[in-house]
Every structure is written in C-alpha cells, then in structure tokens.
Amino acid sequence: MTTTPTATPVETLPSEPLPASINRQMIAILDFGSQYSELIARRIRETQVYSEVLSYRTTAAQLRQLSPKGIILSGGPKSVYAPHAPQCDPEIWGLGIPILGVCYGMQLMVQQLGGTVERAERAEYGKAALFIDDPTDLLTNVEHGSTMWMSHGDACTRLPKQFEILAHTENTPCAAIANHQQKLYGVQFHPEVVHSVDGLALIRNFVYHICYCEPTWTTEAFVEESIREIRARVGGKRVLLALSGGVDSSTLAFLLHRAIGDQLTCMFIDQGFMRKGEPERLMEIFDAQFHIPVVYVNGRDRFLAQVVGITDPEEKRRRIGHEFIRVFEEESKRLGPFDYLAQGTLYPDVIESADTNVDPQTGERVAVKIKSHHNVGGLPKDLRFKLVEPLRKLFKDEVRKVAAAIGLPTEIIRRHPFPGPGLAIRIIGEITPERLDILRDADFIVRDEIARQGFYHELWQAFAVLLPIRSVGVMGDQRTYAHPIVLRFVASEDGMTADWARVPFDLLETISNRIVNEVRGVNRVVYDITSKPPGTIEWE
C-alpha cells in the first residue's frame, strides 16, 4: 500500500522537518481570512491529496522546509491596496512551486508581481458565467460558459509581465490568469464552493496536472499511518480517552484500541446533558458488544452545579470544558497513572476556536473566532496530561470513512454530530433540571420521527432548541403559558457551511403535534430557516 501523508497535527510551523510522507504529497493553503479556506482544503482532500491550512505569515523558508507540491493563496475580506492588508512573503514566488491564487490571493499575486489592482467599476457577487479564452492547463475540462461563484469588489486592471488571461466573465476581464512558465495561476472566482459548477475540475487540474500530485491520501493509508504514529508517540505508556459516544470519540477509541490495546482506558463522563437513553446505549455498545472496557462516571450533579445561573454561551462552554478536565484528572489518580489524554478533536473545531492570523501591526484578527469548542477551548493552564489528537486534521466526512474502515457500527458512523457540552448549549439561557427534561423529551420525538419517516440519514443535523421565554397558548379550552421549541434541521457536507433543510410539511406537523401533546411545558413549535453563514448550526 502506498504510504500517505500523516495527519499528525502541526499546531505551529515545526522547527524540524516533517515526515517524508507529508513532504512528498502536500498542498499548502495560505489563509488570508476567507470563510472558504477550510473548504479549499476539503476539496483538495476529495482528490485524495493531503492539504494543510497555514497562516498567511508563513515564510518562504518555512514553506521550503515543508516542501509542498503546490501552494494555494485563499481569498480574504480585505482589499490588497488597503493599509495593513495581509501580505505573503514575496519570496514565495521564487520557490519554483506551483501557486494558485483565489480571489484575494490572485489580486495579491498581481500586486506583488508588478500588476495593478483597483476598485472595480462594478462589483460582482454570486453566480457568473465563465467564458474560456485558453482551455488548456488550469481550465482543461472546464466548460465554456459554466457557472462560477464570484465575491469581489476589486479588479486586476493591469497584469504583471508574462501573465495572460485564461478566462473572463461579463463584468471581469481577468477572471482567470496564468504565468505558464513559472506555474503561477490566479482565479477571481471561488472554485471551491458548490455553486461553481466545474470548480472541482479546476482544482483537480491544479493538483494533478500542474502540481503532479498522486492520490495517496486514502482512508486505509491514514489508518495505517495513524496507528504507527500513535505507537511511536505513546510507546508503552497509558492513555485516557474522553469517550462521548459520538462518531469522533468512538472512532478514536477504536483506532487507539487497535494501536495500543490495553494501554487505553476509555472513560465516559455522564455530565447530565446527554440525550434520552444515550448513556445506557453507549455502555452497551462498547462494553458488551465490542469488549472495549469503559469506565462510567456519574458527574450529573457537579456539572449542573457549574452552570447554575450561567446564561452566556461561551461561559457555559468554558465551565463545562474545565469541569471535564478536572474530572479526568481526579479519575486518573484513581485509575492511573496516565500520561496522555486522547480527544476526538476535528479540524473544524480547531479552525472555529482559533484566534489565528492576528495582524502583528494592528492586532486585528483576519480569521475571527466564532465560538470555542470544549475539546480545544477552556483548557486550564495546569493541565498535566499530554494531548493525543490523531483526528485533529480531519473533516467530519473523513472521520466517518475512517470509522467504516475500522469496523464501527452504522448507528455510530451515521450519528448526527452532537456538541460536547450536549443539551447545555441547546437550552438558551439558564439550565435547570426542568428545562433539561423538557428538551430531552422534545429531542427524543424529533429523532424518533425523522428516523421513522426515513429522513435521518438525509440530514446533517436535526435537533430541538429550548428558548428561555414563554408564550400564550390554548389547550383544552384553557389558557397556557409555556415554552416554545425551535426545530433546527440542516443539510451540509462538512459542517463548515450549511443550509436549512426543506423537509416535508407533514413531517414538521407530526413532530409539532407530538411535542405539544407529549411534552409538558411546551405549547409552541417553530422552524429555523437560517443558513450558515450568517447563522451557526447550533444556537449557542
């Protein structure tokens, strides 16, 4: 089997060379603050080539050390001519590595190489037809007139020497450009988004035909490489795993158990914010069905005490994350000693929690922190575990493929994502035992109906949210004053972007009728039709 690039996390640029497997087959993405930077990485991985998102401040020397097969400059919210606009190291143009600039990345390429970028007479947002002037190289198999997604108010008005136009749109004369000799390419549109019809074809052209990458980033190779990496790092020491029952931590449990066997101790902390019946089912699957021992810890009272009276969502997450670590520390003293704490942290968790790309001159963040995740935010400074996070660079769909490859049951593989803090962040405002009971019962009805009517696997997530308000209703000719439940059903590929799900009204009607009739304390059900962005999937 061909060795694949390992997904060992690179939290900061390393001071020593990465393994040769990474160096041979990697596309580096320099992030200038685009909301689509992570999507670019995911699209490249769909071609079975490893990709990594790095800061735009990554130097040419650091890139030379990483030795990627290609470099992509992402889009960004700034104008390249604005004061303190993020700039890349100009020496990257002389590395001899193929470079593709996307939107802002293309404009930066033009500006730094001697061209001109100015405010466009007409901005261009949304879908636009791409007219091909040169159908070779980057635009091979991209259909003339195909739809691409535009999002820019600036335009390249003069190209650098040796550059030529590959394509244009009605409003943008320089929609795609190239310096074929130096293998420098730019596109004004976003080929990574689903709205760009032949966008993946363009990305494949860059990855395969320009960068000469080979499709070695496969599930089987990742599993093989990860097991070697885990064994090399852990050695003969013991590992404590934070098991939640979701696909992330469950996949990690199976992967670690295959790598180190009895050196792994799985611990499930019931923090009181799980869905109805989940703690019992988790213990049954792992302990009885797959014979992976799990230590059960009942922490319901202490976790609830941590969030009593707390309404701020970030403070909820911080307190719950902090308590998780404290419980692990206490239990490890009883069961240990343990040297490592394993977590099922994923790439989107890291991205959304990161205070990355802070401009050193202005202090302004280029990539804004959206929310913290309990896996990567709120960790105390005196944490005495070393972290093991083999899934840290994977997207959710990649984790599901790994889960299938190592034998997890379908009910776990296809389980909807569930936040680490659980129902605590689906109760808006203060958490009380009464509100937890209301939401558990409503959430059970949601899951029961979408499964019974065959919609569970068509949705990325489907859940209920409890609002901290009451409204007037009427039941049995009597006035009620009770809580509303919000239904949040979304469709997505990886959780980075999402759209509200167009499910049948009959399904919504059935769920609504069951909730108001079966759940005491609820008299109204509403449906959230907000996409991500501008909203997030979770309400908190």
| Cβ proximity of 267 and 328 under 8 Å | yes
- Helix pair angle (505-518, 433-452), 10° resolution: 140
Cis peptide before 9 (omega within 30 of 0): no
In degrees, rounded to 5, the angle at the alpha carbon of residue 34 between the alpha carbons of residues 93 and 391 is 95
To the query of whether residue 322 is one of the catalytic residues in this protein, the response is no
Phi-psi region of 272 (alpha: psi -120 to 50; beta: other; left: phi over 0): left
Give the Cα separation of 158 and 277 in Å (integer).
64
DSSP character string of 457-485: GG-SEEEEEE-S--EEEEETTEEEEEEEE
Nearest-Å Rg of the Cα atoms of the chain is 25
Q: Are strands 26-31 and 50-55 parallel, antiparallel or unpaired?
A: parallel
Q: Which of 77, 40, 88, 106 is nearest to 366 (CA)?
A: 77
From 38, 124, 192, 352, active-site residue: 192
In the Cβ-directed half-sphere of 17, how many Cα atoms lie within 13 Å?
10
Give the Cα separation of 244 and 469 in Å (integer).
30
In sequence order, what are the beta bridge partners of 483?
A: 522
To the query of whether residue 190 is one of the catalytic residues in this protein, the response is yes
* Helix, strand, or coil (residue 294): strand
User: What are the C-alpha distances in Å from 89 to residues 33, 59, 104?
Assistant: 16, 6, 15
From 190, 373, 374, 483, active-site residue: 190
Tell me which DSSP letter residue 254 carries.
H
Tell me which DSSP letter residue 298 carries.
E
Give the Cα separation of 242 and 508 in Å (integer).
35
**H or E stretch including 279?**
helix 278-283
Cα torsion through 302, 304, 310, 312, rounded to 10: 100
Give the Cα separation of 297 and 324 in Å (integer).
11
Phi and psi at residue 290, in whole multiples of 5°?
-110, 0
* Helix, strand, or coil (residue 132): strand
What the block records as the tokens of 250 is: 């469950």
From 38, 88, 103, 398, active-site residue: 103
Give the Cα separation of 308 and 325 in Å (integer).
19
Give the Cα separation of 427 and 464 in Å (integer).
9
Tell me which DSSP letter residue 81 carries.
T
Catalytic residues: 103, 190, 192
